[in-house]
Amino acid sequence: QVVYLNGEWHAATAAKISVNDRGFLFADGIYEVIPVYQQRPFLLDLHLQRLQRSAAAISLSLAPLETYQVLITELLQRNRVMDGLVYLQLTFGIDEHRQHLPSQPLTPTVYASVSPFNARWEIPTPFTVTLLDDIRWLRCDIKSTSLLGNIMLKRACQQRHADEPLLHRDGRITEGASCNYFFVRDGQLYTPPADHLILAGITRTWVIHLAKQLQIEVHETPLFTHELTAMDEVFLTSSSREIQPVGQIDDIMIGQGQCGPITAQLIGAYHTSKRHLIQE
């Protein structure tokens, strides 16, 4: 694998960053994960717009967005990955020593790589998820490299032998540790609003778009754990897992543990949009 680091291309094992990089010392950075199908990035503009929103939120200056588009194109040309995940990270850069606030403006560290992934073309086996208290901070809308809370939650989930956590704050559902959630009730789609409590997933945005095209009514509204027993279907979304049905939430069985019809319809529409990208 060839990776990009600060204007240079290196073998992944040869790329090195400074111990004084603020990303290393403080997780003072942001990132994006962009799915690639047959060497074409999917929904790249939406990912770069979100990168811009994350950068603005932490006052990190970005180069013009086309710069990252060009960088990703070259990354895909230099690596022979057909279906993959592009990882793009920016940190505030290298300081002379560890101090919470840098004494002068720094040059951001820019890193990009691509790794292979298994694109899905079938309906996946439903997941079992587990409810956990959302212990993270109150700016989950920023795609920050600081993922300690998310990882602690993933570990707690693993201990319960579940596939992914379903997080809530005092009963109000937020998201997963690396995904968003959708719920189907009486043929309509529900998902928590894109406020500061969740990361507004690009897959989430795309699923809402697809649902509207399919004339499915979508509600972006607060949802509560006590409502879960009333849900006909549940699924989660992320760039790497696309649309993943959920068959069980702790002791609550959802739709006899099978992928429901609306979830299946959306998975079909998602695959169609991937096919369009490949055939463009």
Grouping H, G, I as helix, E, B as strand and the rest as coil, residue 215 is: coil
Part in contact with ligand PLP (CB under 6 A); list of ranges 18-26, 68-76, 123-131, 197-205: 197-205
Annotated active-site residue 143? The verdict is yes
Sign of CA dihedral 224, 228, 232, 235: positive
Return d(Cα 82, Cα 223) in angstroms, integer.
Answer: 38
Do 180 and 199 form a contact (C-beta atoms < 8 A)?
A: yes
Q: What does the per-residue mask of binding to ligand PLP show for 159-188, with x meaning CB under 6 A?
A: ----------------x--xxx--------
Part in contact with ligand PLP (CB under 6 A); list of ranges 4-12, 127-135, 202-210, 216-224: 202-210
Task: Report how many residues bind ligand PLP under the rule CB under 6 A.
Answer: 14
* Identity of the residue, 6 or 146, whose beta carbon is nearer to ligand PLP in the bound complex: 146
For the bound state, the minimum distance from the C-beta of residue 115 to ligand PLP, rounded and expressed in Å, comes to 14
Do 140 and 93 form a contact (C-beta atoms < 8 A)?
A: no
Q: What does the per-residue mask of binding to ligand PLP show for 127-156, with x meaning CB under 6 A?
A: -----------------------x------
* Identity of the residue, 25 or 33, whose beta carbon is nearer to ligand PLP in the bound complex: 33
For the bound state, the minimum distance from the C-beta of residue 201 to ligand PLP, rounded and expressed in Å, comes to 3
Which residues in the 234-263 window bind ligand PLP by CB under 6 A?
A: 237-239
Structural tokens at position 26: 């403080």
Residue (of 219, 273, 261, 254) closest to 128 by Cα position: 254
For the bound state, the minimum distance from the C-beta of residue 179 to ligand PLP, rounded and expressed in Å, comes to 5
- H or E element, residue 45: helix 44-58
Return d(Cα 200, Cα 272) in angstroms, integer.
Answer: 22
Task: State the number of CA atoms in the 13 A half-sphere of 27 facing the CB.
Answer: 8
Q: From the candidates 16, 143, 154, 212, which is the catalytic residue? A: 143
For the bound state, the minimum distance from the C-beta of residue 203 to ligand PLP, rounded and expressed in Å, comes to 3
For the bound state, the minimum distance from the C-beta of residue 178 to ligand PLP, rounded and expressed in Å, comes to 4
Which residues in the 17-76 window bind ligand PLP by CB under 6 A?
A: 33
Q: What is the DSSP letter of 192?
A: -
Cα-only R_g, the chain: 19
CB atoms within 10 A of CB 116: 14
Return d(Cα 85, Cα 75) in angstroms, integer.
Answer: 11
Question: Which residues bind to ligand PLP, rule: CB under 6 A?
Answer: 33, 150, 175, 178-180, 199, 201-204, 237-239
Residues that are catalytic: 143
